[in-house]
Structures are given as structure tokens and as C-alpha cells.
Structure 1
Amino acid sequence: MRIGTWNLENLFRPGTDAGAPTDRTAYDAKLAALAATITALQPHVLAVQEVGDPAALDDLAALLPGTWHTATAPPDERHIRCGVLSRLRILETEQFSAFPAGLGPVQVNDAGKVLAAIGRPGLRVRVPWSTRLDAAGRGRLLDVVSVHLKSKLLSFPGGRFAPRDEDERARYAVYALHRRAAEAAGVRAFTTTLLANQGDRHRVLVAGDLNDEAAAATTQILLGPPGSEIGTDGFDRPDRGDLQRLWSLAELIPEKERYSRVYRTRHELIDHVMVSRALLDDVRTVSAGGPAPSIDDDPRDRVDEPGSDHRPVVASFAV
């Protein structure tokens, strides 16, 4: 079983949004590049981000060999959303956006605007894990959660991607960081409820563009109780926290390919796959591959470019 995540970078049909390809030729080239990469990866389920138009995701699915199913969450204010592409039947879908109880709204700009929920709602899909039955005669299932946290690339009033001065840059960096942390807490709260203290039996995989690296504080929020991360002394010591933990698979990606985006020539792993205890022993390989152009702070420079500015991250599991 191969399951992964990929930010598809403004997947809009032409002419439907400011970030969309300007014509059909550019759109077809983008779809062809995305489809070629997905076909080579052969995932069974792919969490996707920056889907601007559900119809565009269907266009992409139509270019892939075999039968594919799609699902999407509601869009954010940029008109992009989380979604899932799946060769497996989608048995259930659920959207979520709530911050955890007790966490108040966060300020997001100088005008005092606040955000009281995850800006880009997350999406959970349930798919068959295998056709084999468990001891109770039930089919085995997997929940895949597709998420996309607040971007590290800052935007400023008036549609600017450059600050007027360093004070403005610092303020908006804080707004973005606070929002990303609150959104991570919202995803963590949803996952905790989903696991229901049964992480040793419930197969849950959280995947998406977390917009920060594995060691970042916002990313660490998603893991749950600390102390058992891959590569630490506590990894092979089971405890009660295992029933709620997620394990980041970042450390299992070969070091030379451990990046999913190139920002000003610096390699960053900001797209992640995390699994519950029930999946951990089944992990076989984790990889990040494909081209990744070096980007800067203005996403408008990428309009009409084929493919994506992210690399997909895919994990394979024994079933």
C-alpha cells in the first residue's frame, strides 16, 4: 500500500482565479506534468493540497490510469482547499475546522482581524486497508487526513508579497506563526478524537503541507505526547501515550532526498506523513521525489508553470 501527500500548487481551471493558468495550453501542460508524476509514484491514496477547483481535480484524475475517486473540503479565502485522490473506494468523508476547546481566536493582520477556526478546513476520508477481515470478521479500514496549515510565505495588505519595512515583516511573521500553531492544535484535537485512545488499533494517517520542517514547534504539536519519536531512545518503549501519538516518518526519508520544497536554493521538508501506532510497524519505505524549482516570496511568478513547486512525499506499507 502506497500513501502520500502532494501540494499541487494552485490547481485551477484556466481563467477561474488570479492564480489559475492563463490559457488552456498552460493548464494542459500543468495537468500532464502532475499526472506523469502521480503515474510514476503509483500511490493508492494521495492527500492533495491547493486544489482550487474540484473540477480540476477531476480533470487530473481522468488522466491517470485506472479508476480514481476524489473528495475535497471547502475552500479558504484564497479559494484553495485540501482534497484526496484515491484508487481505493472512499467509504466516508468528514470535514473539520474547529480550534480545540479553550483556544481563542488569533489575530491575523494589522487591522485586528481574527481567525477562530482552521483557515483551510481539513478532510478525512476512510478507505479499505485491505480485503482481509479482522478477528471479528470486519473489514480493515484506514483514515487518511489531508491538511494544509498557514503558509510560511507572508502576504501583506493590498496583495503585496513584500513588506514596507522590517516592523511590518516581523508583525506579519508573528501573525502567520500564531495562526499556523493554532491550526496545528486544531488538527491535533481532531486527530485525538479520531484515535479515541485506540491508536494501537485505529489506522490513522495524517498527511499534508504543514509549512514547516519536522523539528518546528508547530509540526511537533501534531505528534502528541513527546518521547517516542523515531530515532529517540524512547522509540521502542511502549507506553500509554502510544494510544494518542502520531509518528512523523520524516526521519525514514533518505537524507539526500529529505526535502519537499526549495526556497531560495535552500532545501526544506515541509510536507509530512504521520501515522498512528497501528501503522508504524507496517512502514517499509518513505520517499520524496520529483523536480522542485527554487521559489521566492512571490507565487505569481509561477503562473503558467507546469507541475508543482512541491515534491510529493510517499510512504509504502505492508498490508
Structure 2
Amino acid sequence: MSEELTQIAANMVAPGKGLLAADESTGTLEKRFKKLGIECTEASRLAYREMLFTAPDLEKYISGVILFDETIRQRASDGTPIPELLARKGIIPGIKVDKGLVDLPFFPGERFTQGLDGLSARLDEYREMGARFTKWRAVIAIGEGIPTSQCLRANADALARYAGLCQVHGLVPIVEPEVLMDGSHDIKTCRWATEAALHEVFDALTRYRISFKEMILKPNMVVSGTDCSNQAPPDEVAEMTLACLRRTVPVAVPGIAFLSGGQSDVTATANLNAINVKAKTLKTPWTLTFSFSRALQAAPMSIWRGQAENKAAAQQALVRRARCNGAAALGQYDPGMEEA
């Protein structure tokens, strides 16, 4: 199993490819649909995601798709199970396995991810359905007096226990400790919090004997807070992000797939490109790519709007964004590609 997981992890971060995170919960997708006047039903959610997954040439830039529990159980309009539909295109099916966030008792403003209970049985079921990798998201907020060491440790421990269960059950875990952009903090504060979180995560992964070569790290980029008056440019984002990663992430990890974390689609692409340009000069040991949700889906969703006649244009918008991010993952993105 070890060789298989190592190969899957390597394929997930193949050069010039990244991951499409399509694992939004029903509630989250309903909020996004509502803003665009799209009715949110099981049928409309399936139609939307099938539109994404069947986009022509998507497999040239997307190595894997993270699915939601509802989606992995659905069939496409031709009767093909969604995981099989993806696999036929050469795209690896994955699945979100955490059960969402709850408040961390006695630590105001901090949260903890639940879902370890019953996880072993769910992993076997998902693998039988065709999933080959998983995702678990921990959330770290920045604010007055936070993050606390207790919050960092609690989430790191859960991530490590999740990762161990996944590897035992034949699935590659994506380990996602997200330091949120929310707030007025500057980029230096984000770097401090991100570095602290990653130190705790890899300490826990080591204690739980996780195989680094059989996992993918999905961190935030080191960026300024959303409400910060001094937004760091891509070059500074690249410098801070790589400095943080070089101090915390073991060489054995095959790839780092950044989340977009609320950045606009073009900003996320520009920052990813700057990171890879600088990474070449530093000769970093990992593949540095993307695992985006809104930064890939915002444009196609706004074009699609639940209308079948908009499908082709929405798919073109998705593939354009995927192509731009694929280029950024190689440090070859040019803003002129946005209009190509």
C-alpha cells in the first residue's frame, strides 16, 4: 500500500497541475447560489458540479477533485458514478471527511474540527466508492491573544490522528491547517501564526508516525489580513511564505497545495506564480501548487447561473482559470493569459 499511496501523492502534485476543491457543504453552496439567484436543490448541485467536472481539457490542469459526501454518492446525467466520471478523465477523486467546526470550550474566538468518531468506517466506504485521497480542514484565527497554543495543539493532534487513519485505510491525506485571512493583521503576524501552526502540525504528525511522503500539505499563503490597510504585494507574499515553509515543512513531503483562503482568483494566481518564481532560485524541495475552491469556481458559477445554455461558457471560464493556475504552479503565469 505504501508504494501506491506514494504514487498517488506524487500524481496529485504533478508539475503544472493542481486540485479543484469542490467539497463545499450544502449550506455553503446554498449561500453562493442564493447570491446569484440559483435555486439550491440536490439536482441543481449535481448539475453544477457535473458542469465543472466535464469541462473539456480540465484534466490538463487539474490532477484531482475534492468531493463532498453528497457528490461522491451521485451519478452523472448518463448514469456514471461521479468518482468514475472523474477517473475516466484521468482526474483522481478525493473526499472531504471532517464534520465541520465547533467552538473550542473556554477559548473564545477559537474553533476545533470534529469528525474522528466513526472515521474508520467512513474511510472504507469512501475508498470502495472510488476515493483515493481525503481532506481534513483545521481553522486557526488571528486576533487579540489568539491563536493560543492550546488551540494549535488540539487541531494539530486531530489532523495527525486523521492522517494516520487515512494512511492505514489506503488513502492519501491532505493535511489542511488554515490560518484565516480575516482581520486587520499585517503579513508578519500571519507569518508568525502560520509558522506556529505548522510547527505544531508536523510535531504531531511525527509523534503519530505519519509517513510524510504519503501526504499532501494544504496551507494558507502568508498574506496580509483582509482588512489590513497595507496589503503585501506578490513578491513579499512569496518571500514570507517560503521562509515560513523552509522553517517548518520536512523535505519528504512531496507537495504543498495552497488554498486560496478568500483571495480573489487573479490575486491567488499572481501570488502562486510569485511563490514558484522565487522557489526556483531557492531550489525548494517540494512541488508548490494549488487546491482552490472559490478562486477556481467564482467565474464559472457566475456565468452558469443554473442555465443549461450557459454551460459551455462557464466551462471555458473554469478551464481558463485552471490553465492560469497551472502556469503559476510552474512560475510561468503572465497576466496576459487572463484574456487569452
Identify the TM-score tier after normalising by the shorter chain: 0.3 to 0.5
More helix as a share of residues? 2
Q: Normalising by structure 2, what TM-score?
A: 0.43
Structure with bigger strand share is 1
Relative to the length of structure 1, the TM-score reads 0.45
